[in-house]
């Protein structure tokens, strides 16, 4: 059994599969609308302490709702709640796919595919991180500005 646990490729494949299973579980138990998230049909009554104290959105306001809406294919609604939600979901699913390819290539011993997968993960992560941060901060800046103008 120890040989199986230390086999190259098992860790990235397991991590990729775990991300996909987590997303599937979230899809099954979570629902959302523009105002709240529901777990098994019951609303979660979260209150952002930053927003309740200052009347302005924090950088992560709306992310949970946006992620859940994105999981259910409602990308346009999710984008209006928090643009970083669909971007984060896309990034997680792309990472899961890349880890599965990397893990399978290592398990099968296909060195050429393994090198390509490692390159995809490394380069893709850098490009994605830069784009995701810009979308996240840009979306927050827009909602923060809108909140300031309504005061």
Q: In the predicted model, what is the mean pLDDT of residues 118-146?
A: 89
Q: Is residue 2 a part of any domain in this protein?
A: no
pTM: 0.81
Q: Are 80 and 47 in contact (CB under 8 A)?
A: no
Separation CA 83–CA 40 (nearest Å): 25
- Read off the pLDDT band of 5 (50, 70, 90): low
* Higher-scoring residue by pLDDT: 8, 92: 92
Sequence-distant (≥ 6) Cβ neighbours of residue 43 within 8 angstroms: 36, 37
* Higher-scoring residue by pLDDT: 38, 12: 38
Q: Is residue 1 a part of any domain in this protein?
A: no
Q: Is residue 3 a part of any domain in this protein?
A: no
| Number of independent structural domains in the chain | 1
Residue where the block lists tokens 């999981």: 71
Asked if the model's pLDDT at residue 122 lies above 90, the reply is no
- Read off the pLDDT band of 1 (50, 70, 90): very low
Q: In the predicted model, what is the mean pLDDT of residues 33-52?
A: 91
**Structural domain of 145:** 8-149
């Amino acid at each position: 059994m120890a040989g199986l646990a230390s086999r190259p490729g098992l860790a990235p494949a397991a991590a990729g599969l775990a991300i996909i299973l987590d997303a599937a579980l979230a899809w099954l138990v979570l629902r959302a609308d523009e105002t709240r998230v529901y777990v098994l049909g019951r609303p979660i009554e979260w209150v952002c302490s930053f927003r309740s104290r200052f009347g302005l959105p924090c950088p992560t306001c709306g992310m949970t709702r946006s992620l859940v809406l994105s999981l259910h294919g409602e990308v346009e609604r999710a984008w209006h709640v928090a643009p970083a939600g669909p971007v984060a979901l896309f990034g997680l699913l792309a990472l899961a796919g890349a880890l599965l390819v990397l893990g399978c290539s290592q398990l099968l011993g296909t060195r050429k595919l393994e090198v390509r997968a490692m390159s995809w993960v490394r380069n893709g992560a850098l490009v994605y991180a830069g784009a995701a941060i810009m979308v996240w901060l840009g979306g927050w800046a827009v909602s923060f500005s809108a909140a300031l103008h309504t005061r």
